[in-house]
Each structure stands twice: as structure tokens, then as C-alpha cells.
Chains A and B, each alone.
Chain A
């Protein structure tokens, strides 16, 4: 079980890292295609609020899992 927890730690960290360029690229693409106020507000909320929370929490959680911090939890 510990090995699986640690292995998934890599997955969470990679997801956290990967989400940043993915969201920013998608935002740039959509805003360039249609630079409406609606688009700006939507992507601002996603980039300023949602993305940092997801990225920070997944990366930190992944690193903890990889280091075996959760191994004692059954």
C-alpha cells in the first residue's frame, strides 16, 4: 500500500505541475479567439483563484505522499 501511495504521489505532483501551462494556454487561445469581457472574467477567476489552489495543493500533497508522509495512515 505504501508503494502505491508513493507512486501516486508522483501522479499528483505531475498533475499539479501540468495544470498550470495547460490552463494558461487554453485561456490565451480562447481570449485571443474572442476577447470579450465575459471571457476575461471567466479565465481571470480560473487563473487567479482555481488554478493556484489546485496546483499548490496537488504538488505539495504529491511531494508529501512521495516522501511517505501518509504511509502511517491506514
Chain B
């Protein structure tokens, strides 16, 4: 009889934890989806809201990309973290979800620059800041909430579901964009169809808010509140008290900084490298990343669960170490597989098509060159020259060096290389799952309940947002530095990897020396 009661109680506990995980994960996934569609559609958004010929709008475009991702996210972490430690986890991450969903939906409604002028980029900029603020508050809340519901000894396993959401959010964003783009066609998508992924957010957020409303507050927070142990000033307690500040620093330098660069390299830099260094065609490059993400996602849970058995530290450190060692060989293989210079061209199949059309005051010459290679690779180069009909204007532009043609290069890989590319990206996603799978459990366990939301959110968002988020900017810059002259290919297309390699190496050494592999029992202190 007593055995039956225990079994029923255990079943109810597992079922309750599952509901908590599902409700928290869906909301966090949608927040990541919202955040990523802006980044993924950056080019179209830039054309719609931030015209290149307006320098202020162009500056806003840069700030919208970087400020929201880097500067605002830690502020969101501080603001909502403090709120979560004062009024509770449930209401705080409900608010972040509504802010994120509302601002994403609103971006889909903002008229373009052509319609309302400078107001368009200004409104989008503010909405993007709100997105960053909300994201800064969401993750810490979800991880803390799930961890505080999880049974001891299984925290790595249960929080790893939250860890899948960032990758699944990116996957969802890529998937929705690809489906809408393929359904409407490229032109309609660029015209107005890009708004659909943003507007869709309202529906997703609505469902998630409904689910989250039904959830109860974290049991640890409730207990702490009952006992009157809530922190009066979580910010001061988190960052002014030496005992806690030293843990914030160890979390940042020994874990989240390295995790951030590995995460961004394995997903965003890989996509950027495929598209820009390897010139792999848009749909194919996105498919390579999407398939690798989908296959790799269960490993978040595998490594999360494994961290309950062998500790968080060694899995995270192993992920950083293998990433540091393997990045250059992996990217060398990716580059070589797509390098046309190493392939045999079937010259008899090469076609060149030239089209000339007058559009307004310009003569537009489009040259499309198609090449086929012996291994099945096909290459398409579209060169578009816009030449003014007015000879004076033409001479002026030529003198200013502004008559350069726009060139678009698209390589379509054959099945065998396509599969290899998926495999090479998948290896990087596995590294991501090693460093990212156990990190939520690691972070929640090193901070006390009364200031957990605040203390864990800041190092996470600085590590992920600043160190990780700067990977595309710094890596692109490092590659550009090896370019002998404008227009010539870079001498070292892999130079961009030095930034994540350096940060992950330092993080590895700090983590190995100073992080404990022991997990604590996370009682209410």
C-alpha cells in the first residue's frame, strides 16, 4: 500500500515537472524565434527600414543589430533578474514573453522607410531594443524556474530542455522563413512576405502566455517568501558582496564566455562561412544548418543528463577543448569541399547569358554565367551593372569609382558534398551541446535562491551576448585583415576562427583551474 502511494506520488511529481518543462520551454523557444527572425531577415529589414543612402538610418541599422544583442541583453538580465528575485519567477518571465511577442508583432506592422520616412527605422530600433531587453530577462527566469522545480540529481536533465530552445528557436526561425519564402516566391517575400514570420509571433506568444498563466510559482521561491528570506536588494547582494561576485566572475570567464563563442561559431558563423566564404546557395546553406541543428538537438539532453552523473564541469570543458582543437581542421574541410579552384570544370557546359534593360534613367546589364563541375557542383554568377544613360553622370560615377557591378555568387553542392557539409556542421553542433547542455544547471547551482535570477542572468548574457554575439563582427574583421586589396580574396579565409579559439582557450584554462565539478543540493539558503 505504502509502495503504491509512493509510486503515485512519484508519477505525479514527474508529470508536474514535465508540465513545467513544456510550458517554460515553449515560451523560451518562441522568444528565441522572435529574436532570430530579425537577425535572419537582417538584409531585407535593412532594405525596408534602413536605406544605405541615409547615413543616420544606416547607423541605426548597425546599432539595432549590435545594441539589442550585446548591450541591452545584460541590462534586461539585470532589470528582470532583480524583478524575478523580488516578486517571483513566474510573473517576471510572463512579462518578458509579452514584451518580446508584442515588439516582434509590431515590427511586422511598421510601414517601410518609403512610407513614413525616418520614423520607420526609429520605431524598429526601439522595438529591437525591447526584444533584447525581454530576451535578457527570459532565459534566467526559465532556467531558474525549471531548476527550482526539478528533483535533486536530475537538474541537468530537466534544465537541458530549456537549453534546446535557443537552437530550436533558430531552427524554427529558419524553417518558417524558408517555407514562407518558397511559398510566396522571392520577390513577394522581399516585398511584404517577410512580415509574416513576425506577425506569426502573436499567435505563438498568445498560446504560450495562456499556458504560462496556468503555472504555479517556483516552490523554492514560495518557501523563501513564506520564511521572509527574500533579498531586499538583489543587485547589491549579487554584485557588491565579494562571495557572490567571485562566483559571477568564475561563471563568466570560466564558462559562459567560452560557451558563448562555441555556440555562435557552431551555428551562426558556420552559416555565414557557408554563404560568404564558400558561396553556398541560400536555401542549401540554410538547409545544411537546419538539418545539423535538428540531428544535434537531442545531444543537449544527453549531455544535460550525463552532467547529473559525472558533473557539469568536465563535459563543458571537454566541449571547449575539442572545439578549440577541431575548428580549423573542420573549416578547412568545409572550405576545400566548396572550393571551385580544386574542381574540374566541364567547360562545354558553361553558359553565359547577357540581358540588357532600361529602367528609369539607367541601363541595366545583367550577365549570368553558369558553370558545371565534374563532381556535380554547379555555380551561378550574376553580375548586375547599373549604368546611367546620362553620359555626364556616368563619367562622374566612373571617376568616383562607383560604377562597380554587383556580383552574386551561388554554388550548389552535389548530394555527397552536401551530406559531408551537414556532417561537418553537426560536429560543431555537438560541441555546442556539450558546452551548452549542462550550463543552466551549472549556473543555477552556484548561486543562492534569493539572488539566483539576477546573479545567473548577467554572466549568461554577457558571455552569450557580448563574447558570443561579437563572433560575426570580430571574425569578419579578422578575415578582412588578411585581404591583400579590395576585391581580392582573403589570404586566410579561416582567420576569423582565431577569436573563438582564443576566448574558448582562456575559458577552458580558467574553468579547469577554478570551477568545481561538484554539484550542490540547491536548498533554500
Contact = CB atoms under 8 A, between A and B. Distances in A.
A7 B166 CA distance: 37
B479 to A, nearest CB: 13
Interface string B453-480: 0000000001000110010011001000
Contacts of B487: none
Interface residues of B, number: 27
Interface stretch (B115-123, B168-176, B247-255, B326-334): B247-255
A50 interface: yes
A69 B246 contact: yes
Contacts of B477: 42
Contacts of A61: 246, 249-250, 253, 510
B473 A45 contact: yes
Contacts of B253: 12, 57-58, 61
Given A42-B477, A45-B66, A50-B470, A73 B515 contact: yes
Contacts of A74: 516, 518
Contacts of A69: 242, 246
A4 B19 CA distance: 46
Contacts of A60: 245, 249
A64 B254 CA distance: 14
Contact of B71 (A4, A49, A73): A49
A41 B60 CA distance: 11
A15 B245 CA distance: 20
A69 B249 CA distance: 12
Interface of B: 55, 59, 62, 66, 70-71, 242, 245-246, 249-250, 252-253, 462, 466-467, 470, 473-474, 477, 509-510, 513-516, 518
Interface of A: 4-5, 8, 12, 37, 41-42, 45-46, 49-50, 53, 57-58, 60-61, 64-65, 69-70, 73-74
Given A50-B467, A53-B462, A61-B246, 19 more contacts: A8-B513, A12-B253, A12-B510, A37-B55, A37-B59, A45-B66, A45-B70, A49-B71, A50-B466, A50-B470, A53-B466, A57-B252, A57-B253, A61-B253, A64-B246, A69-B246, A70-B514, A74-B516, A74-B518
